[in-house]
Structure 1
């Protein structure tokens, strides 16, 4: 039973809008209803509806471009792509309190959810039958939701107004609470949720005790991090113990998948991979159009590389609609052991099929002599159902590849012209560079051609142009709990490093290629087109010529045309001691770039690198780098936004977001008088 329908109707309570819905016995129904008065929330049915409706705010991160802007641009993993975003990626002057793209919507939506949660926390003890089996669950959900919304706010803005009672009229006077008080409230609410919530959800998508435990671990770890070092000394030791306790509980209760690909093996809406044991909490989306509202799940739009303007390919459902906002950095390529770590090949796509033979390129008089023996001038270089585009993820020093003159996608390999459009990271004789221009993909000169994250790919949409994704979006999975436990042990000192390694190995052992595994196989959500009734004929986004989705990768060619093998890589991935971390061949160049010379610095650097390897693109990175105060150093080292100009990163400013100007302009002092410029400045974060 799945929460596959979320609120559509809205009611105004004070200054905050709250959406509600009705509920059936087997799933939560999202059919449009009429507007209710707040008296509805003084009935048990109304409170059930309001709880269900408040789940809508869990979708916010995945609804629109703010999911990229606020959470995964301006970091080491991703830079902006074909659609530049200088405000959030480059920390330009455009990132200010009046910025209208993402900042205010996050603030407004989280406080909208908080208003609903406040109503629930107040009214459930008053109007809900305490003998009803759902009483504790509904109250626990309410405490969880309020804590979750406040955690989203505090990690972006610092201390924010703590509003713990529902509005009964318009309120305009607010003051900012301290970060310390905000974290105390978040942890208190999560403690309540942890006590009240069931260990098993009655319906797929419902919040459980383990979701509360996950976010307890996250809240305690965040509070114990460097960003809050000016005031967190008295709580850090207990916080780290709490991270270990709660994180271990979550991993025990929600075991890791056996294979990393199981998380991304999406075949249709509501398919089995959305309910694997590792998923602790997910925002619920589906192919039911009545549930989509204004946005739906739009994360599939932001990571793809542009392919539709390359001869022989046109946009289809299987390849996604390429808004192309986020481009993987060289760091995101090089932080992986791309021979032994399967997570890279199960997180990124490197091959695209031909779905438009008519427009496919032909051998010309100029390039036929460079092509394979027997090529004929005028013949198609490839046709529908064959490979059209490939990305080679190689290293500097690879002498195999050279650019064909006057052909941006033409590449010679060992002096032979490739029949496919080929994108290569490093051509012959090009030196290694984290942010430099090299190859014909993935740098600022050609931002629309990059190795694309595939975790959100969605071949089950109902039209080529549809922005409405059908996949659930993971909010929490137990792999992150393993990483949080490991980080807590690292923070406890060198004596605990062996314990940290135990938890890191849970992920690295899983990440190894298994005996008999086909390393050239690609699996991602693009494959769902095969089960999609809309993919019938050209009008439905599927060509008789074939599909953009391709079930192979460039593993062997990217790795120097290594011989095919099906041998396990478990021994190469397993960490045997701290010395494996200190001397890691993959991580050492990153240590050097960031100036990590001590064992402590290397351990934390390795941990952050491991978070990328496991969680790349999953909307945690900005907050991770901010809380650890590594945002500036990693952004400057690995994000080409730093070297393109229009950048003003200021460490005293950019570890926090600006308080939205719309909020400051509409609040008053305790006497109801609009704030002066000086008062607004005093409430604003420094530098904005």
Structure 2
């Protein structure tokens, strides 16, 4: 949608021209072919192609920096990093209707996808061969796409224009529907999709009945949440029942992985972890360069901590290209039980290998005296293939560490300087702080150093500088359905808390370290470099000097140098009663910071914390905090963007995004005239 003037023939040029090749590993390994006239969409073949093209919009979240800006900045989990983004992280005055990095592209792309869906819904019954076994699927895909993309819009903007038929000419007159009307349409569309779609996909990546069920659960839970409390009373009881129904069905159809790491064990394009049972819907990416388009999957760029400017670690494919837009907050470090919960160690990077001996640091005369016994001044502190950088995720009160005055990454541990570049959260005598500088990690200080999320790391790219990721991106997995069902039970009142706990334990039992498991192992997508043909010889820079990817973590050192063990931690994570939630050692400081005193407040806070532990960084957080109206409290408590200034946050404004100015400038009133300033203001969200 360009300035909201949807020319049908232009839409075709952007969406249709995609045909499926016979050698594809999934149905989106397509190549652009000749563009067709609108008559093509009056054939079975043309509608098949339109359906395939519509799937491209499912990639939008992962295509560019808007994937961070719209969905995971300005929240409790992540703040901005080496690249400052005050508009979305600090809610500065730059977040306005003219903002074009994320806001306008999101609006335009969602409506572009809705146009394709409208065409499928209209044309499939008219022109698709009804004896074709794909008839119901194509129609169901149309309804799913329309419901899904409207749900994305409503989550960001509130009520939006409902466009339910394809354009045949330029459309310029629009009115905004209410939130209530939008949710009714979204749920009706997803119910149609649920009835029409198959239970198993004909091709990898196709939408199924269970994807519709997942987003039905999400739509019902969203409508039942606090943001809509001024009008949702008549639907809340039925909504919560629907969440339990649909979410339970998804979990039954898509069983959880046995081990959390199986979701992120990416070894090469189209590898086994992209086909695990837990994934309900994923945006399909691959190493086929003909399918990349302008952007490809770029999410791997935004979470890494900068390492290339540290002696001994030059940028390579395994370590990633560090655009470094988002860094985890202290809340994100502390919301995990980092002794018992494996999800932390399977979601974050704490170790980096040396991949250039020549660039590795040497012991200075002064520091050699601080090093281990026998350290020789002028010798290398480490060499290629050895550990170069480590992040120690410790707590306040840890007396082991002191800074080295003449070395920003030098740390004394029990009086002895570490040979590695070492980043520590808390030095001796530093008090606990949710925001503010402490240790030598990147918290309101050195913003490019942080414990980096590993879920998008991609060692299968074609070059060190390549922005095009190859791994699929998860849009929906059944673990979120577990959490939605648990939340629905919790919202039904204390009498249902035991049922909520049964569902929460499905994830916490899975999150525990298993009997015999090595807790020091790190697995993430950086390992894919080992199977990558580009990582040989000079092209990838891999030789005896090794790689930045490191297959170990700092579990034991971070946990006070505890003794090595392979015992199960299930008993430490399993919730035995609601008292375990109310009195949680991990969650109680968060309750106190947020002022949660009632049992209901603690239960909902715990569920939001559990969503971080399970779903951290998976493009869901801003919408979760908005729908529950916890954004203001959590952002102010845990995001250093609040204390840095340059913020204009207002609870009466920032629970919604601004309607793009390009849209307001392009549309007309009922008489065909451009909107007046007053008419634009009436169309706009309050405060923008």
Taking structure 1 as the reference length, the TM-score comes to 0.98
Counterparts of 1:14-33 in structure 2, within 5 Å, are 16=11, 18-20=14-16, 21-24=18-21, 27-28=26-27, 29-33=29-33
CA deviation digits over 1:436-490, x for unaligned, max 9?
2100002121000000000000000000000000000000000000000000000
Find the residue that maps to 2:365 and give its secondary structure. coil
Asked whether 1:89 is paired with 2:94, we answer no
Q: Which residue matches 1:126?
A: 126
Query: Is contact 2:64–2:297 with CA below 8 Å preserved after alignment?
Result: yes
Shift in Å at residue 38 of structure 1? 1.1
Distance in 1 (CA, whole Å) between partners of 2:678 and 2:366 is 68
Find the residue that maps to 2:366 and give its secondary structure. coil
Shift in Å at residue 35 of structure 1? 1.6
Query: Is contact 2:21–2:31 with CA below 8 Å preserved after alignment?
Result: no
Q: 1:13 aligns with which of 8, 19, 30?
A: 8
CA deviation digits over 1:524-568, x for unaligned, max 9?
000000000000123224344000000000000000000000000
Q: Which residue matches 1:7?
A: none
Q: Which residue matches 1:99?
A: 99
Counterparts of 1:373-388 in structure 2, within 5 Å, are 373-388=373-388
Asked whether 1:663 is paired with 2:663, we answer yes
Distance in 2 (CA, whole Å) between partners of 1:284 and 1:14 is 26
Q: Which residue matches 2:538?
A: 538
Shift in Å at residue 14 of structure 1? 6.4
Asked whether 1:268 is paired with 2:251, we answer no
Distance in 2 (CA, whole Å) between partners of 1:505 and 1:646 is 41
CA deviation digits over 1:399-445, x for unaligned, max 9?
00000002110000000000000000000000000002100002121
Counterparts of 1:164-175 in structure 2, within 5 Å, are 164-175=164-175
Asked whether 1:203 is paired with 2:198, we answer no
Counterparts of 1:103-182 in structure 2, within 5 Å, are 103-182=103-182
CA deviation digits over 1:49-86, x for unaligned, max 9?
00000000000000000000000000000000000000
- Structure 1 segments, 4+ long, off by >3 Å, are 14-18, 24-27
CA deviation digits over 1:125-169, x for unaligned, max 9?
000111110000111111001111100000000000000000000
Task: Report how many residues are paired.
Answer: 678
Query: Is contact 1:336–1:344 with CA below 8 Å preserved after alignment?
Result: yes
Q: Which residue matches 1:295?
A: 295
Find the residue that maps to 1:358 and give its secondary structure. coil
Q: Which residue matches 2:285?
A: 285
Find the residue that maps to 2:408 and give its secondary structure. coil
Shift in Å at residue 648 of structure 1? 1.2
Shift in Å at residue 24 of structure 1? 4.7
Query: Is contact 1:129–1:135 with CA below 8 Å preserved after alignment?
Result: yes
Counterparts of 1:488-567 in structure 2, within 5 Å, are 488-567=488-567
Q: Which residue matches 2:3?
A: none
Q: Which residue matches 1:5?
A: none
Asked whether 1:310 is paired with 2:310, we answer yes
Find the residue that maps to 1:593 and give its secondary structure. helix
CA deviation digits over 1:154-202, x for unaligned, max 9?
0000000000000000010000000000000000000000000000001
Query: Is contact 2:141–2:207 with CA below 8 Å preserved after alignment?
Result: yes
Distance in 2 (CA, whole Å) between partners of 1:286 and 1:111 is 26
Shift in Å at residue 33 of structure 1? 1.0
Shift in Å at residue 653 of structure 1? 0.3
Shift in Å at residue 22 of structure 1? 1.2
Change (3 A) 1:113 1:31: same
Find the residue that maps to 1:366 and give its secondary structure. helix
Shift in Å at residue 670 of structure 1? 1.1
Q: Which residue matches 2:607?
A: 607
Taking structure 2 as the reference length, the TM-score comes to 0.98
Find the residue that maps to 2:395 and give its secondary structure. coil
Runs of 5+ consecutive residues of structure 1 not aligned to the other structure: 1-10
Shift in Å at residue 602 of structure 1? 0.1
Shift in Å at residue 12 of structure 1? 4.8
Query: Is contact 1:15–1:170 with CA below 8 Å preserved after alignment?
Result: no
Find the residue that maps to 1:370 and give its secondary structure. coil
Query: Is contact 1:23–1:48 with CA below 8 Å preserved after alignment?
Result: no
